[in-house]
Amino acid sequence: MRNRLPGLVSRDGERKVRVMRGLELTLRQTALALVGLLFLFALPDIARLSPTIQLSVLHQGVVFGLAAVGLNLLVRHTQLVSFGHAAFFGTGAYTTALLAAKYNVTEFALLLIAGMLLATLMAMLIGYLSLRHTGLYFSLLTLAFGQLLYALVQGQAFFGSSDGLPVRPGPNMRPDIFGLALPPDAYEVLMYYLTVVLVVVSLLVMWRLINSPFGAALDAIGQDRTRAQFIGIPVRRYVWLAFVVSAVYGGMAGALYAMVQQHVRPGPVLYFLRSGDILFMAILGGYQTLLGPLVGGIVLVLLQDMGRDLTNYFDALTGLVLLALVFGFPQGIVGSLKKGGRVRNAASSFKDDPAVIGSWLSSFTESLVTAASRSVQNVKVLVFGVK
């Protein structure tokens, strides 16, 4: 009889941990996953160690990471790059804020579900209109719809225009969590743990999704639309579905953001630069991985926050990271740490023969010298022309 419950199983002589149907991890992966989980759950205590690290900032990172995980479904599998994902993040956030500020809805679960629902509807509409196009036109359309929402919210007093809306419903001035009116500290920590639980569940759902026939079909669509069409995949419908699913993640993240920040303004949740941030998080963490976008979210938000303490040119800091990423680690943080990734490869060759450092250094100097001589050549050609 097949074991249907989580537990230890043996596959091809290797012991694996069965998490759910189809998801079996090696012992090493299990250990890493547990460490990761433990780390997420311990963050509130870690944040208490130093005043420069704040739980609310880490929490924001996790929330944006969740949105990036959603966006990554599109980028990684269907190869569609959306520049307007803040629209769904913002829809989730603004739905929550409107219900809290104008209709005094206090329940966390209701606010969350409403945010996800509205984001879903918004994605069905925007997806329907923009998925008729691919490539650059798709990206530009999503950008346009995103900016349209931004302009609408910014211009309407009902949405609080540029001042935004508070998320402080009820006499307790914050949402109730399952009927409980909590003091601020308890609210912050409980909200964080709830977020972690939601993130873990969302990751499992995403894993299941991309390892299903549907996920495989998306990959096929990403590789070649026409071929996918010919083998009978309903391309339009599948891509539309993937778009909506990725927006649900954005909507959930937006609703959580609104309840964490307790104030929503158009700039931080709807502006097109926010869409860029979410995309950047996915790439920074490693968009060819499931966990990468989450890690990217935490790292980028933390970097932006700590950067402000270090220098007035904190925006340049993000640019530098982007440069380092593109030139040095195109697979992103998690991608580089994975088996076959740049860091893992380097570490293993270092373990085999520490003298490899010498050859790294020499190849680095060599490439510097080549680059320098090439630029000298270029200048020569520019000044004296080709002889």
Partner 1 sequence: MLKAVGGTALAAALAGCSSLIGAGTNQDTSGEVSDVPDEPIQAGLQTFTEGPAAVLGLQSQYGAELAVERINAAGGIAGREIQLDVKHEADAYVENYTQFVSEGKEVTFGPVSSGGHAALAPEVEAQGVVNVSTDGTVTTLYEETVPDPTYSFRFQNYDVMECVSAARETVNRLGAENVNTVAGINPNYAFGKDEWKVYTTALQKLTDVEIVYEGFPDLLADDMSTHITEINNQQPDVTFSSQWGGDVVTMMNQAAANNMFDNTQLVGTVLYSAVNDLSQDIVEQAQAFSGSRNYYWGEPEPSRWSPGQKMLDDARSKWDIIPSGHFMSGYGAVASWATATEKAVNLLGGWPSQEQIAMSLEGHGFFTPAGYHVMSERHQGLSTTYFGEMGWSGDVGAPVLNDINSYSPPDVSPPPGTKSIDWIESW
Give the residue from 115, 81, 108 showing the smallest Cα distance to 269. Answer: 115
CB of 275 to partner 1, least distance (A): 16
User: Cα–Cα distance between 226 and 214 in angstroms, integer?
Assistant: 17
CB of 258 to partner 1, least distance (A): 12
Give the residue from 273, 285, 254 showing the smallest Cα distance to 83. Answer: 273
Q: How far is CA 137 from CA 72, 132, 379, in A?
A: 19, 9, 37
Q: Which is nearer to partner 1, 36 or 44 (CB)?
A: 44
User: Cα–Cα distance between 201 and 164 in angstroms, integer?
Assistant: 31
Q: Which is nearer to partner 1, 51 or 385 (CB)?
A: 51
Centre a 10 Å sphere on the Cβ of residue 9 and count the other Cβ atoms it contains.
13
CB of 263 to partner 1, least distance (A): 4
Residue 166: its H or E element: strand 165-166
Q: Which is nearer to partner 1, 165 or 248 (CB)?
A: 165
Q: Which is nearer to partner 1, 30 or 56 (CB)?
A: 56
CB of 327 to partner 1, least distance (A): 27
Q: Which is nearer to partner 1, 246 or 262 (CB)?
A: 262
CB of 325 to partner 1, least distance (A): 23
Q: Which residues bind partner 1 (CB under 8 A)?
A: 51-52, 54, 56-57, 154-155, 157, 160-164, 166, 168, 173-174, 184, 261-263, 265, 267-268, 305, 308-309, 312-314
Q: Which is nearer to partner 1, 57 or 204 (CB)?
A: 57
Q: Which is nearer to partner 1, 267 or 330 (CB)?
A: 267
User: Cα–Cα distance between 302 and 62 in angstroms, integer?
Assistant: 10
Residue type at position 86: A
Q: Which is nearer to partner 1, 157 or 383 (CB)?
A: 157
Give the residue from 175, 157, 155 showing the smallest Cα distance to 103. Answer: 175
Q: Which is nearer to partner 1, 274 or 338 (CB)?
A: 274
The residue to which tokens 């798709």 are assigned: 138
CB of 92 to partner 1, least distance (A): 18
DSSP sequence for 91-117: HHHHHHHHHHHHS---BHHHHHHHHHH
CB of 307 to partner 1, least distance (A): 10
CA 301-84-245 angle, to 5 degrees, is 90
Give the residue from 119, 128, 131, 70 showing the smallest Cα distance to 94. Answer: 119
Residue 348: its H or E element: helix 342-352
Residue type at position 152: L
**What residues form DSSP beta bridges with 10?**
15
CB of 50 to partner 1, least distance (A): 9
CB of 90 to partner 1, least distance (A): 14
Q: Is the dihedral of CA 170, 171, 174, 178 positive or negative?
A: negative
Residue 8 gets which letter from DSSP? E
